[in-house]
Amino acid sequence: MGTPEFAVPCLQALINADHEIPAVFCQPDKPQGRRMQLTAPPVKVCALQHNLPVLQPATLRNNETVEQIRALAAELIVVVAYGKILPQQVLDIPPQGCINVHASLLPKYRGAGPIQWAILNGETETGITTQQMDAGIDTGDILEVDHCAIPDDMTAGELHDVLSTLGAGTLMRTIEKLQEGTLIRTPQEHTQATHAPMLSRDLSPLDFSKPAQHVHNQARGLHPWPGATMLFEETLLKVHRTRVCVTGDSSLHLLCGDGKYIELLQVQQAGKKTMIGEEFLRGRR
C-alpha cells in the first residue's frame, strides 16, 4: 500500500526479492498539470509495469474493501506513504500484521511531513523507521532503524530521494528478520514524540527578521513544494537555494535579524525560469 514516488523503491525491492505480491493498493488517479489531466500515481505505474494487480479504493472503511483485502490472504501488508489511515479491521487481517516505512527517527516527526519538518527545524540527522502499525498515527512498535545525515545545503527534495532509497533497504532487512524469527519490537517513547503536520503555502513567506539559519532552513525545507517566497520590489519571488553568510557584498544578499546575511543563490519569478541570484540582479539598479 503506497502512492507517491517515495514508495516506489520499496515496491521494486519486494519485486526484486521475488516476494509474491497479490495486490498493490494506491490512491485513486488525480488530475495534474495545467490541463488537469487524470494521472496515475507513481506506485501504480510501477505495479502495472510488472503486471501486478492494482486496487484504488476511495476508502478502506467499507465492508466490500475489507473483504477484498481479506480474500487476498496476504501474510503481511507493507505500507509506505499510502495516504490513508488503515482501520483496525484492516490492521487485524494479515497474520504478520502491517509494517510501515516512515521517513523519520520515531518517535520524532510523526505525521505527514517528516522530511520537510526535520529540515525546517534545523535537524542534522534523520532516518528511516519501520514500525509495526497500530491504530495510532505512527505510534507502533519500532522494528528497524537506519540513520541519515542532513548536510546544511540539502533540500527536502534531495533528502526525500535519499530516504526513499534508504527505506527500501530498511524494509527488506525488516522482512528478512521477520522471516527468520529474529525481529525485535521496541515500544516507542511517547513522551519524546514530535509532530510533523502536512505542509501548506502559509509557511512560504520568508521573514528576514528571523536569524539567517532559520531563513535558510525554511528555504530548503520547503523546496520543491510549497516553496519559500519573498517580495522583491513588489515582485513575488520563489527562493530555491540560499546560503548563510557572515558578511554581505554586491550580489544578492539580505540582512537577517541576527546580523548575518542570506545569499539568494537561485530564484524564480512567476512564469519565468529559475535563475541564479546574479542573473536576476543584472539590469536592475
pLDDT score of 285: 66
User: What are the phi and psi torsion angles at 112 (to 5°)?
Assistant: -85, -20
pLDDT tens for residues 222-250?
A: 999 999 999 988 889 999 999 999 887 76
Structural domain boundaries in the chain:
5-192, 201-281
Architecture per CATH, 201-281: Roll (3.10)
Q: What is the pTM of this model?
A: 0.95
What is the CATH class of 5-192? alpha beta
Residue 85 has pLDDT above 70, yes or no: yes
Dump pLDDT digits (tens) for 30-72: 999 888 999 999 999 999 999 999 999 999 999 999 999 999 9
Cα angle vertex 282, ends 276, 285, to 5°?
130
Mean pLDDT to the nearest integer, 128-156 = 97
8 Cβ contact list (under 8 Å, min separation 6) = 2, 42, 43, 46, 164
Lowest mean pLDDT among 8-12, 35-39, 86-90: 35-39
CB atoms within 10 A of CB 66: 17
Confidence of residue 187 (pLDDT cuts 50, 70, 90): very high
What pLDDT score does 247 carry?
84
Q: Are the C-beta atoms of residues 175 and 101 closer than 8 Å to each other?
A: no
Cβ count near 182 (within 10 Å) = 8
User: How far is C-alpha 227 from the chain's CA centre?
Assistant: 15
Give pLDDT, residue 232.
Answer: 87
pLDDT at 130: 98
What are the angstrom distances between the C-alpha of 184 and each of 95, 130, 131?
Answer: 17, 11, 11
